[in-house]
Amino acid sequence: MRALLLTLGALLAGCGGGSVAAPASAPAPADGAGWKLVWSDEFDGPAGSAPNPAHWHSNLGNREADGWGNHELQYYTPAPRNAFLDGQGRLVIRAEKVADAGPCWNGRPCGYTSARLVTEGRVRYTYGKVEARIRVPAGQGIWPAFWSLGEGLPWPHAGEIDIMEYVGQTPATIYGTLHGPGYSGAQSLNQPHPLGAPVADDFHVFTVIKRPHEIIWLMDGVEYHRLTPARLPAGGSWVFERPFFLILNLAIGGDWPGPPDERTVFPAQMTVDWVRIYEEQR
Tell me if 268 sits within 8 A of 147, measured CB to CB: no
The vertex-273 CA angle with 268 and 275, nearest 5°, equals 115
Q: Which of 96, 160, 214, 241 is catalytic?
A: 160
Q: Is the dihedral of CA 16, 212, 11, 135 positive or negative?
A: positive
Tell me if 85 sits within 8 A of 74, measured CB to CB: no
- Catalytic (active site) residue 160: yes
Residue 36: left if φ>0, alpha if ψ -120 to 50, beta else—which one?
beta
Burial 194-233 (b: 16+ CB within 10 A, else e): eeeeebbeeebbbbbbbbebbbbbbbeeeeebbbbbeebe
- Catalytic (active site) residue 120: no
Which residues are 205's β-sheet partners? 133
Report the residue count for the chain.
Answer: 282
Tell me if 146 sits within 8 A of 277, measured CB to CB: no
Which residues are 143's β-sheet partners? 251
Q: Which of 72, 96, 131, 165 is catalytic?
A: 165
Active site residues: 160, 165
